[in-house]
Copies of this chain bind each other. A is one copy, B any other.
Amino acid sequence: MSRGTLYLVPSPLDFGCEPQTPLHEVMPAGTLAVAARLSHWISENARSTRAYLKRIDASHRLALPIQALHIQELPRELHKKGDHDGRFDARALLAPALAGQDIGLVSEAGMPAIADPGASVVRAAHELALVVTPLSGPVSLMLALAASGLNGQNFAFVGYVPQDASERSARLRTLEGLAIRTGQTQIFIETPYRNAALLEALLQTLQPATRLALSCGLSLGGGWSRCLSVQAWKKQAPPDLNAPTVFAIGR
């Protein structure tokens, strides 16, 4: 019996945002067509996966009704602690693929396994020698990097910065040092309700000539990207950062 493929299915970047982006604006039809025919899913959150599939059904009729789909959720601890240390063995979730079913891996926004859970599933798929096929779709980190004008030939995404103020300043200084010394753009994110505090810390901590890029609500109506020196940002009224925001610094 032939084995199923693990498809990595991206989703739009409007999770939790209003109004939603029309799917065809940001998702290739080829990606939606594959998603529409899958009956088995591994998901960060089953409820949001069902909502996404309902949106897909409006343009690409699902092969099975939503209630008949087989959706397995990733364990909650992977959401909080991250899914990159190799401790979670996801092979059991891939049993349907061993039985010949294609499986979709999906997170709540963007590409699964990038700044989101899912790497454990992909790792397990390689251990089981399954075919892994990533599908095209929006990746907020890359939209933000391209729109920053910062170095896109050498860059790092380092996840979240510490919440504690003094640890955060130390971390920001380390990242700035790296960016200045090596030219490597440093990209990071924060939960939206802490974005304003992070921006304030950045303006207090970084050197005046360091370039700081903010991309807020990318691919959403009203989304924007702006890259200025720290000293130029200080002369402006702080922007509204209530939508998902990607931060990047460079020299």
Please tell me if A227 contacts chain B, counting CB pairs below 8 Å.
yes
| Contact across chains for B136 and A219 when beta carbons are under 8 A apart | yes
Contacts of A147 in B (CB 8 A): 8, 122, 132-134
B-contacting residues, A1-35, CB 8 Å: 8, 22, 24-30
Is A111 a contact partner of B8 (Cβ separation < 8 A)? no
Given known contacts A112-B146, A126-B228, A147-B8, is B152 in contact with A84 (CB within 8 Å)? yes
A193 at the binding interface (Cβ < 8 Å):
no
- Which residues of A in the span 148-206 have a Cβ within 8 Å of any Cβ on B? 148-159, 183-184
The interface size of chain A toward B, counting residues with CB under 8 Å, comes to: 64
- Distance of A4 from chain B, by nearest CB (Å): 16
Main secondary structure of the interface of A (DSSP, over half): mixed
Indicate if A145 sits at the interface (CB-CB under 8 A). yes
Interface contact B146-A8, CB-CB below 8 Å: yes
Interface residues of A in 100-158 (CB under 8 A from B): 111-116, 118-126, 131-134, 136-139, 141-158
Where the two chains meet, the residues of A that have a C-beta atom closer than 8 Å to any C-beta of B are 8, 22, 24-30, 82-85, 111-116, 118-126, 131-134, 136-139, 141-159, 183-184, 218-219, 224-228
The 4 closest A-B pairs by CB, nearest first: A25-B30, A122-B149, A123-B149, A156-B156
